[in-house]
A and B are shown apart, each in its own frame.
Chain A
């Protein structure tokens, strides 16, 4: 049994913590794009480190991957990857008002990703009595070699990837992106302990 096998109650609790965090991230997205965002139930999948590239094979065809590190108390830290599919990046470009300036699009997609990541993680952290700091977000070239290299440069050995599939529908547009949180074992155990404390209250 791996350290992050969750019971049904633990999974439900984690899902609810993520739903609340996603709700506030979507509100920020709506404000950023000045539109209404239709929010679907996010799906959550746990991926062992050795299976990440296999699982994310489809995602690695993404046009844009934005990576941002996060650091909290009690060993909670990791790396958040936001991955956008090629067909969705065109819709995003429209939404963001992209015309012919790639640099502007890069900057805007980094901003958008950082808003989603930091809002999501701030709200998630506040629910588990923690607080996050962040490294600067980086836009990565979306190919397996670049992402592998980037992940190998991390200062920690991550043991589990929490893949949160986020689907947004924005009035006349819709796009999907995957948020992948890479988390080391110490952080996993800490999150699990917090979930158990929450469940004990009920």
Chain B
């Protein structure tokens, strides 16, 4: 059974960077969202297994997505991938339920280590 993956980032380049860093086992069923609103629409209507989420985005940002997921009881592993590397921001996303915070630009090794750590590999 393939894993349903959602990548949410307003940058096309950043989405491709994440996609290219994914292991083969997670690359077969990937959907892309350009902002938090698009991501939430997908999460509300489909069953996803893992979300890779940027923070600084137009319309609804990453914190908004995490908050909405908490409010609406949408539960799935979330890996935040962001350029906003302030320690307080990292704490906030973890408090809002993210599994891990990864800094941009994402490195394949780091991503895979985190996926392994959280049982997705």
B84 in complex: contacting residue of A16, A23, A127, CB < 8 Å = A23
Q: Are B86 and A37 in contact (CB under 8 A)?
A: yes
Q: Are A39 and B11 in contact (CB under 8 A)?
A: no
Q: With A39-B56, A202-B20 given, is the CB distance from A16 to B88 under 8 Å?
A: no
Q: Is A22 an interface residue (CB 8 A)?
A: yes
Q: A123 — nearest CB in chain B belongs to which residue?
A: B83
Smallest Cβ distance from A151 to chain B, in angstroms? 30
Chain A residues lying within 8 Å of B43, measured Cβ to Cβ, are none
- Chain B residues within 8 Å of chain A by Cβ, number: 20
A12 in complex: contacting residue of B11, B20, B105, CB < 8 Å = B11
Q: B92 — nearest CB in chain A belongs to which residue?
A: A36
A32-90 interface (Cβ within 8 A of B): 36-37, 39-41
Smallest Cβ distance from A148 to chain B, in angstroms? 34
Q: With A23-B104, A202-B16 given, is the CB distance from A15 to B84 under 8 Å?
A: no
| Cα distance A12–B11 in the bound complex, in angstroms | 6
Q: A199 — nearest CB in chain B belongs to which residue?
A: B13
Q: Are A41 and B86 in contact (CB under 8 A)?
A: no
Instruction: Give 1 or 0 for each of B73-92: 1 = CB within 8 Å of chain A CB.
Output: 00000000011111011000
Q: Is B23 an interface residue (CB 8 A)?
A: no
Smallest Cβ distance from B25 to chain A, in angstroms? 21
B49-91 interface (Cβ within 8 A of A): 56-58, 82-86, 88-89
Q: Are B83 and A22 in contact (CB under 8 A)?
A: yes
Chain A residues lying within 8 Å of B17, measured Cβ to Cβ, are 202
Q: Are A27 and B85 in contact (CB under 8 A)?
A: yes
| Cα distance A76–B57 in the bound complex, in angstroms | 29
Q: Are A13 and B13 in contact (CB under 8 A)?
A: yes
Q: Is A19 an interface residue (CB 8 A)?
A: yes
| Cα distance A24–B84 in the bound complex, in angstroms | 7
Q: With A19-B56, A20-B105, A202-B20 given, is the CB distance from A26 to B84 under 8 Å?
A: yes
Q: With A36-B88, A40-B56 given, is the CB distance from A19 to B12 under 8 Å?
A: no
| Residue picked from A9, A22, A39, most chain B C-beta under 10 Å | A39
B88 in complex: contacting residue of A20, A22, A30, CB < 8 Å = A30
B1-56 interface (Cβ within 8 A of A): 10-14, 16-17, 20, 56
Chain B residues lying within 8 Å of A23, measured Cβ to Cβ, are 56, 82-85, 104
| Cα distance A41–B89 in the bound complex, in angstroms | 15
Chain B residues lying within 8 Å of A9, measured Cβ to Cβ, are 12-13
Q: With A23-B104, A39-B84 given, is the CB distance from A16 to B56 under 8 Å?
A: no
Q: Are B105 and A30 in contact (CB under 8 A)?
A: no
Q: Which residues of A contact B (CB under 8 A)?
A: 9, 12-13, 15-16, 19-24, 26-27, 30, 36-37, 39-41, 127, 198-199, 202
